[in-house]
Structure 1
């Protein structure tokens, strides 16, 4: 059982480089996972980390109180992070600032390169920010879609976009 668990954890770790599709050197960086506890279900392919979870690979950082890694034979397919807040950050390219996302729940679909942030969602890139009840951020296309609340609370999407500096 111990050798089997080691093999599955190794497989999970080897699949994590698929997560970093931003800076090319991110994929070449070691992956560091820290948590208070980890539980692996061999049948479902889901590893659950709990307690101050942090996953780091290059500029990509995922933090949460609880993080689920869903993997298949093809590697990690999905990461779900929850917390108050759960956090995600990555630098899209050398010429762009670090993108940071916050919310109570984040669902990162690795193959689609898309993070869906819900409940008190916020995405910051440089001095620009987007807030709403739900934000869908497509990293590959650099598209942010923000949605307000459907309830009577009436939370609206808020965006703050700074003016571009003028060339002198």
Structure 2
């Protein structure tokens, strides 16, 4: 039974489009940041933005009440966004709709091409929805991992996959 459930889960995950196929021109575009307040520490390389923060690079958009941008000599290494909810979106490819992610905290590790969404995590792709306590996207490897909470709170991973129609 456990193997059947694991196989079904893996098959369902394969139906989710991978962020690894994000538009290649996104990384070549400038990063635009707007916020109510910003505080930059040149020694640590950390800039903290607060108040209706929005970061845009091509089709990638990150929104939150507070966003930390971690930089070093090689550029932006990590973006941590918090909010109720924090938001991330990106278009996987020209022929696919935006992938949208929501959670109270998002940790985007740029070098690893990995986004970890925690606390009421949700991902929407078209009409499909994927929820859990924590969702980890490895964009480069096209791997999605979702986790429920502990047994006491009872939150489980939930997926709603819409049937494909002839036009899709």
Does residue 58 (structure 1) correspond to residue 46 (structure 2)? The answer is no
C-alpha displacement of 1:82: 0.2
Q: How does 1:15-94 map to 2 (within 5 A)?
A: 22-94=22-94
Write the distance in 1 (CA, Å) between the matches of 2:163 and 2:94.
21
The match for 1:13 is none
Gap change, CA 1:167 and 1:56, over 3 Å in 2: closer
RMSD: 1.9
CA-CA distance at 1:46 after TM superposition: 0.4
SS in 1 for 2:27: helix
Decide whether aligned partners of structure 1 residues 75 and 165 sit closer, same or farther in structure 2, where only a CA change above 3 A counts: same
Counterparts of 1:38 and 1:99 in 2: how far apart (Å)? 28
In terms of mean alpha carbon deviation, does 91-100 or 41-50 score higher? 91-100
Point out where structure 1 has 5 or more consecutive residues left out of the alignment.
1-19
Measured after TM superposition, the shift of residue 118 of structure 1 is 0.3
Deviates more, 1:25-34 or 1:76-85: 25-34
Shift of 1:37: 0.4
Q: In terms of mean alpha carbon deviation, does 101-110 or 150-159 score higher?
A: 150-159
Give runs of ≥4 in structure 1 deviating > 4 Å: none
Asked if the contact 1:21–1:113 (Cα under 8 Å) also holds between the matched residues in 2, the reply is: no
User: How high is the TM-score relative to the length of structure 2?
Assistant: 0.82
What is the TM-score normalised by the length of structure 1? 0.82
Query: Residue in 2 aligned with 1:145?
Result: 145
Distance 1:115 1:167 in 2: 31
Quote how far apart the aligned CAs of 1:167 are.
6.9
Asked if the contact 2:147/2:156 (under 8 Å) is kept, the reply is: yes
- Hey, what's the Cα distance between the residues in 2 that align with 1:71 and 1:133? 28
How many correspondences in the alignment?
149
> Cα 1:40–1:128, aligned 2, differ >3 Å: closer, same or farther?
same
Report SS of the residue matched to 2:25: helix
Structure 2, gaps ≥5 residues long: 1-19
